[in-house]
Chains A and B, each alone.
Chain A
Amino acid sequence: MVTTPTPYAGDTTRSPVVACIVGTIVSCILAAGIIIVHIPAPAPMWGSIMWVCIAAVLTAATIALILRKKPFARKRFFAVAKWVFLYILVLTGMGEYVMAFDGMRGETLVVMTVILLLFLVNIPMLWGFSVARHERTPN
């Protein structure tokens, strides 16, 4: 017998968690974009730093929202997130390697590293949450 039970927490559409993570990703891309469009000239860093700060606040909000979510399939969330983390670690590691190899230093390198770290945290949370939000309520 196959059933289609109610999902956890009724949070399968328009979740604030997903909205925060999408906001973070867009903020990170804007922060990196400001630096990239100015190449080879040095970019004014205040714009990138502002977007990175927005992304950091949204990330904190996402973590708080996930921690407060009950009931929530934490086991499933971490089962997915840990492998996605490994994949994104390789991806961001390649990015960091390329930036360091190309001689990027100073404030720019710090901002780009923070952007990569935010990606590293947010993408696993998004993929893990996407799966965990559809876990069923235990009978």
Chain B
Amino acid sequence: MSELVVNQAIAAAPKAQAGPFVPLWGIALDAAVLVALIVTIARNSVFGLDFFHVLGGALWISIDLIMGFIIGPIIRRLDVPARMVFSKNLMTKMMVVVPTAVICTLTSGWQLARLDNLFTTPYSPQHGWILAALIVVALLAIIAYVFLEPANIVVLTELRKPEPNGLLIGRMMQRFLYTAGILGVLQLSMIVIMVRLATW
């Protein structure tokens, strides 16, 4: 029965389309941001590194929290056609913003830690907190690269086919939303670690 409902919804949804997953303006924007990040690292600009770390981190954490705890539950309550149209638009934008935000946050954060001598002072009191941050980042990376992004790509690919597999899309969306929730919880622990380090 649910398969029938999903199939009817797919039939009513917008049909397959060609062209790139990520809009070209998005790729250009990402490239410009990455060039600015490289220049900032090369110049050892503390202001620039702080800017990239705070902006990237705020974007990354906010997106994970909003996806996990606000958008996720809303999507689960939408009817299937609305869910598919929403997912298609949302996932495309996420492909533009999230990878670049992650690269900016991690790279500038590492450089800031180096400039703050957190890697050269033996057994500094912050050492444990830095390690905790790295462990959370490792968990975030595993979950994002192994579960969340593949689900995202499968949904995008399936939605572009002339006859999408509704059951597969439903399963992958569930996976995407659950893993986004787990990432949200991990990001809350990251906020605690970062606030502790910033107020040391």
Contacts and interface: CB of A to CB of B under 8 A. Distances in A.
A3 B145 CA distance: 30
Given A29-B141, A126-B146, A134-B165, A4 B3 contact: yes
A39 B134 CA distance: 12
A117 interface: no
Contacts of A80: 153, 157
Interface residues of A, number: 38
Interface residues on B, range: 35 or more
Interface in B135-186: 135, 138, 141-142, 145-146, 149-151, 153-154, 157-158, 163-168
Contact of B119 (A7, A39, A84): A39
Interface in B88-128: 99, 103, 107, 110-111, 114, 119-122
Contact of A3 (B131, B163, B168): B163
Interface in A1-30: 1-5, 7, 18, 21-22, 25-26, 29
In the complex, which of the residues A5, A18, A127 has the most CB atoms of chain B within 10 Å of its own CB atom? A127
Q: Does more than half of chain A's interface fall in helix, strand or loop, or is it mixed?
A: helix
A22 B139 CA distance: 12
Contacts of A101: 41-42
B87 interface: no
A2 B9 CA distance: 10
Given A2-B166, A36-B134, A94 B103 contact: yes
Interface in B23-45: 34, 37-38, 41-42
Q: Does more than half of chain B's interface fall in helix, strand or loop, or is it mixed?
A: helix
A4 B153 contact: no
Given A2-B7, A25-B142, A87-B99, A131 B111 contact: no
A81 B143 CA distance: 19
Interface in A77-127: 80, 83-84, 87, 90-91, 94-95, 97-98, 101-102, 123, 126-127
A63 B191 CA distance: 38
A138 interface: no
A134 B122 contact: no
A37 interface: yes
B111 A98 contact: yes
Leading 7 A-B pairs by shortest Cβ distance: A130-B150, A2-B7, A39-B119, A29-B138, A40-B120, A131-B157, A2-B10
Interface of B: 3, 7-8, 10-11, 21, 34, 37-38, 41-42, 99, 103, 107, 110-111, 114, 119-122, 131, 134-135, 138, 141-142, 145-146, 149-151, 153-154, 157-158, 163-168
Given A84-B153, A127-B149, A127-B150, 20 more contacts: A2-B7, A3-B163, A4-B7, A4-B168, A25-B142, A29-B142, A40-B121, A40-B122, A76-B157, A80-B153, A91-B99, A94-B103, A94-B107, A98-B41, A123-B145, A126-B145, A126-B150, A131-B154, A134-B158, A136-B165
